[in-house]
């Protein structure tokens, strides 16, 4: 289940009732344990090399108007200034509503002795919200072919959109086998509105706070265990997620997770599978078994991800020149 939303028509009901929407959710992804940059700009460039991720998610399969989300990101360290940079692209479709966001990130990193560091990051970019009036219906509308009319001055009969700048901030810390981070998403976002032409709407993005904790522990030479917790809140409603994964020979991954602790927030059980396709590319898949009331009308959620790691450390310096020894020519 998405944060704070139990019914697909939530935004449409708000628009029909008063042309004003207050809730703007974060897109839901199951793969946060394998990609901390997903929800925190301070994690940009913490790896020693270029890392890129692509995610496709289909939520609540067979439920009409259910969310479909895509995410792309890439981040790289900039060692000579103790920093990292990254870029993120998100597209989230929920019924007639579509939110697209492009963000550039910068993080400043400072070592805390030989075993830890702290990073402070910011992302800035643009957010566009679109409303497709062709997917809306009003009680007084006329929808018999070839007629298509809402007969409502507030509802568009085509697609309308508005865009505005947006910013995020975060802090992320690593200490030995532990990681912890907190981010405000967004920290700045003006109201999105459309008041001219066909159709009108106003949408105020809602600020969410995301807290993430992770831990890794090797078991022998072949297995690494990973676990983590994710908390998302807007200060009124809170959602909790937990995940546990085992990695074998750095090639195969399997795990389980859950979302929601209480009867009201219980949402899904997650299963994870992963396989390294080559030295640089990791394929990840997650399936969610629904536990909420929506489970009666959907067949769960699917999420597939691809992670690419360039390999050699960036900025580690060039290899020394080769000197031929005449004795061994």
269 pLDDT band, cuts 50/70/90, is: very high
The end-to-end CA distance of the chain, in Å, is: 67
Nearest to 26 by CA among 118, 99, 126, 124: 99
Helix or strand (DSSP H, E) at 12:
helix 10-18
Q: How many Å apart are CA 59 and CA 270, to the nearest integer?
A: 12
For range 115-132, the mean pLDDT? 94
Q: Is the pLDDT of residue 138 over 50?
A: yes
Closest to 188 in 3D by CA, of 232, 272, 125: 125
Q: What is the mean pLDDT of residues 70-98?
A: 95
- CA 244 vs CA 30, 214, 259: distances in Å: 12, 10, 12
Residues of the chain above pLDDT 90, percent: 60
Residue 234 to residues 1, 24, 193, 206, 210, Cα–Cα distance (Å): 16, 10, 22, 7, 9
The answer to whether residues 154 and 200 touch, using CB atoms and an 8 Å cutoff, is yes
- In order of their start, the domains of the chain are 32-193+206-318 (2.40.160.40)
How many Å apart are CA 177 and CA 194, to the nearest integer? 48
Q: Is the pLDDT of residue 92 over 70?
A: yes
Q: What's the token pair of residue 241?
A: 């997620």
**What are the structure tokens assigned to 251, written together?**
């090639």
d(CA 218, CA 94): 40
| Spacing of C-alpha 94 from chain mean position | 15
Lookup: tokens for 194: 């459309």
Residue given tokens 């061994």 in the structure block = 328
pTM: 0.85
Give the closest residue to 79 by CA, choosing from 48, 116, 119.
Answer: 48
Residues 6+ apart with CB under 8 A from 266: 259, 260, 291, 292
Q: Is the pLDDT of residue 320 over 80?
A: no
Q: Choose between 50 and 319: higher pLDDT.
A: 50
Most confident of 24-28, 58-62, 160-164: 58-62
What are the beta bridge partners of residue 131? 97, 160
| pLDDT value at 8 more than 70 | no
Give the distance, in angstroms, between the CA of residue 239 and the centroid of all CA atoms in the same chain.
15
Quote the percentage of the chain above a pLDDT of 70.
Answer: 86
Burial of 166 (0-12, 13-18, 19+ CB in 10 A): buried
In whole angstroms, give the CA distance from residue 189 to residue 202.
13
Residue 295 dihedral angles phi and psi, to the nearest 5°: -60, -20
Average pLDDT over residues 66-72: 96
């Amino acid at each position: 289940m998405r944060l704070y939303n139990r019914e697909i028509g939530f935004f449409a009901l708000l628009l029909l009732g008063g042309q004003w929407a207050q809730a703007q959710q974060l897109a839901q992804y199951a793969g946060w344990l394998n990609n901390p940059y997903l929800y925190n700009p301070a994690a940009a460039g913490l790896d020693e090399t270029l890392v890129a991720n692509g995610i496709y998610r289909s939520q609540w399969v067979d439920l009409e108007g259910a969310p479909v989300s895509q995410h792309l990101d890439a981040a790289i360290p900039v060692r000579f200034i103790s920093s990292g940079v990254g870029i993120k692209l998100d597209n989230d479709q929920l019924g007639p509503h579509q939110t697209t966001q492009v963000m550039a990130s910068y993080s400043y990193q400072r070592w805390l002795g030989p075993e830890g560091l702290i990073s402070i990051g910011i992302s800035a970019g643009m957010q566009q919200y679109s409303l497709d009036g062709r997917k809306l219906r009003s009680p007084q509308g006329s929808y018999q072919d070839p007629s298509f009319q809402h007969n409502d001055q507030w509802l568009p009969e085509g697609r309308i959109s508005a865009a505005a700048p947006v910013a995020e901030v975060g802090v992320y810390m690593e200490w030995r086998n532990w990681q912890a981070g907190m981010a405000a998403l967004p920290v700045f976002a003006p109201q999105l509105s459309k008041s001219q032409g066909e159709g009108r709407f106003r949408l105020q993005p809602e600020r969410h706070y995301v807290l993430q904790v992770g831990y890794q522990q090797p078991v022998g030479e072949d297995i690494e265990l990973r676990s983590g917790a994710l908390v998302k809140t807007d200060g009124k409603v809170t959602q909790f997620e937990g995940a546990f994964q085992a990695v074998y020979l750095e090639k195969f991954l399997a795990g389980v997770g859950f979302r929601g602790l209480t009867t009201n927030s219980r949402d899904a059980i997650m299963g994870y599978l992963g396989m390294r396709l080559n030295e640089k590319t990791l394929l990840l898949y997650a399936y969610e078994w629904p536990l909420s009331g929506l489970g009666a009308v959907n067949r769960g959620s699917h999420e597939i991800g691809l992670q690419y790691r360039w390999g050699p450390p960036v900025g580690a310096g060039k290899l020394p020149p080769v000197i031929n020894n005449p004795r061994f020519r």
